[in-house]
Amino acid sequence: MTPDSIAALLINLQVGEALILPSETKLKYVESAIETARAHTTLKRYILGQHMCPQAGMQFHRVVCCSAETTTTKPADSSSESLPDEKASAPTESDAA
């Protein structure tokens, strides 16, 4: 898969849906796809996580699509936002204060 094909899948995700990709997919491709998808929509946010499936013994990438309206968005924060911050968790209510 290419970053552009992954981005196309992300853009078409509905809020609350997730895209599951095998761990063989290069992480830099996934991160690039998230950046591309963000450039095409301001109504959605994408959160990247790495998960392990114990039954299958496989690791995979999971990108969750959520609404930008339910997250704290501050103009000053958007330019300093980085992928590692989003890997940790969604913004908390204390960020809104």
70-84 per-position pLDDT tens digit = 544 444 444 434 444
Q: Given its phi and psi angles, is residue 62 left (phi above 0), alpha (psi -120 to 50 degrees) or beta?
A: beta
Q: What is the pLDDT of residues 41-60, one digit of tens each?
A: 888 999 999 888 877 778 89
Higher pLDDT, 53 or 64: 64
What is the residue extent of each domain of the chain? 3-71
What pLDDT is recorded for position 41? 86
Who wins on pLDDT, 1 or 90?
Answer: 1
More confident residue, 54 or 14: 14
Measured CA to CA in angstroms, residue 23 lies from 1, 28, 59, 85, 96 at distances of 12, 12, 6, 20, 34
